[in-house]
Amino acid sequence: MKRREAREKAIQTLFQLDNSELSVDEAIGYIVDGPLDSFYEQLVRGTAEHVAEIDNELANKLENWSIDRLPKIERTVLRLAVYELLYNEEVPNRVILNEAIELCKTFGDEKSGRFVNGVLSKFH
C-alpha cells in the first residue's frame, strides 16, 4: 500500500471512530480487509492514542473555532496531519501539509483544503 492510500484509508478509519463507540480494531476491520499496512496502522493507532494532545494543540491554533464545531472531515484531516507533524519525524512537514490538502480535495471541497492549510501553517 502506498503512503497516499494509507493516509486515505486512515482518514476513512478515523472518520468512523469520530463520535462512535467503535474500537480502533473494529473501525480498522470496516475499512481494511486482509493484512494491515504498517504505515496505515501507525497513523490510525497513533492518532487515536494521542487524540487528546492533538486536539489540545489544534485548539491553540484555531481562531474563532472549537474542535467540536469543525466539520467532521476537516477535523479528521487536521488530527491525522497534526499527529504526523508531532510524532512522525521521518516525513518532512511540507509533505504532510501537501498530503493533508490532497486529502481535503478527495474527501472535502476546495474550501476545506484552504482552511486546513491555514491551520497547519501555524505549526511551522
CATH number for position 77: 1.10.940.10
pLDDT for residue 34: 86
Structural domain harbouring 37: 3-123
Compute CA distances 69 → 33, 41, 65, 115, whole Å: 32, 27, 6, 13
Q: How far apart are CA 7 and CA 64, in angstroms?
A: 28
* 36 vs 18: CA distance, rounded Å: 21
Q: Over 80: is that where the pLDDT of 24 sits?
A: yes
Global confidence as pTM: 0.95
Give the tens place of pLDDT for each residue, 40-65. 999 999 999 999 999 999 999 998 88
Distance CA 73, CA 46 (A): 18
Mean pLDDT of 19-38: 92
Domains in the chain, number: 1
Q: What is the mean pLDDT of residues 62-87?
A: 94
* Residue whose cell numbers read 483544503: 113
Is the torsion defined by CA of 117, 4, 16, 124 positive or negative?
negative
Please name which of 78, 77, 3 lies closest in space to residue 40, comparing C-alpha atoms: 3
